[in-house]
Amino acid sequence: MDIVVCVKTNPDLQMVRIKNREAVTEAVPYKIGDLEKNALQAAVDLRTAVGGKVVALCLAEGNRKAAEDIKVALAMGADEAVVIDDPALAAPDQAAVAAALAAAVKKLDACDLLLFGEGSTDNYTGQVGPRVAELLGLPQIGYARKVDAADGVVRCVRSMDDMLETLEAPLPAVVTVVSEINEPTIPGLMQIMKAKSKPLQVWSLADIGIEAPAQVREVVSNLAEEQDRKHILFEGTAAEQADAFVDALIREGVLGR
């Protein structure tokens, strides 16, 4: 089975600082999103079970080191990687991302199952998977926490509000996964070394045969909320911190009323 995992690299949110209410992302390294790692692991597990190939597909979105960062996917077990890197898509909206990914999937020409994380670590819009499904005319199953595929059918278990559902769709299909699906393995030195010799291609928009899509969204502002939290971190032993915290709650009028 040929599985394509769409992978986004995000600025490492732990290292994004807020200055004058703006997120400072300069010099912040990128890394593959958490849910995409779950999707990669699910793909590798499926390949182990039923055979086939796993391709990691990444749109650079302005990350100049995307072709380096995607090697983590290869080390995690993907067989090949493709990075779409084009200056016209340095800051794309979700419709543009979907258009580029769908065109790249068509160029790959072999995709039985297309996996996504349910959302990206940074903005979590959840738009790209469903948009790609629509563009390629494929059925979609969102929020999978278990994925099996056999005999041309994908079967997923997902949790929806107060319901647990088991759903099936004919392949090819789009599936988005949640973090509960697995615990992604952290690649060892051997896997990292092996990844260096795996095929990695970099494509431009011309390579996938599309023009830069028109923007459908305008970001008016993107600022940290003004908040006046106290940010008091207690120190000391558990008992000392408990003392200080309970004293604070009494001062605040939350306790002892």
Give the shortest CB-123-to-another protein separation in angstroms. Answer: 5
Rounded alpha-carbon distances, angstroms, from residue 43 to 7, 113, 115, 175, 208 = 12, 9, 8, 11, 24
Candidates 142, 184, 195, 210; binder of another protein (CB under 8 A) is: 142
Alpha-carbon distance values, 159 to 61, 164, 177, 231 (Å): 31, 5, 11, 35
Give the residue among 10, 37, 72 at the shortest CA–CA distance from 196: 72
d(CA 149, CA 13): 34
Nearest to another protein of 69, 118 (CB atom): 118
How far is the C-alpha of 63 from the C-alpha of 69, rounded, in Å?
Answer: 9
CA end-to-end span of the chain, whole Å? 64
70 binds another protein (CB under 8 A): no
Cα separation, 110 vs 126, in Å, equals 24
Q: Decide: is 19 part of the binding site for another protein (CB under 8 A).
A: no
Stretch near another protein under the rule CB under 8 A, chosen from 1-9, 57-65, 189-197, 249-257: 249-257
> What is the nearest approach in angstroms of another protein to the Cβ of residue 95?
7
Residue type (1 letter), 147: V
Task: Say whether residue 55 binds another protein (CB under 8 A).
Answer: no
Q: What is the CA radius of gyration of the chain?
A: 21
Among positions 79-118, residues that touch another protein (CB under 8 A) are 93-95, 98
Using CB under 8 A as the binding rule, the residues of this chain from 155 to 214 that contact another protein are 155, 159-170, 173, 176, 178-180
Residue 48 sits in the site that holds another protein (CB under 8 A): no
Q: Of the two residues 179 and 191, which places its CB atom closer to another protein in the complex?
A: 179
Q: With binding defined as CB under 8 A, does residue 250 bind another protein?
A: yes
The single-letter DSSP state of residue 62 is T
Of positions 101, 113, 131, 177, contacts another protein by CB under 8 A: 131
Name which of 71 and 131 has its Cβ closer to another protein.
131
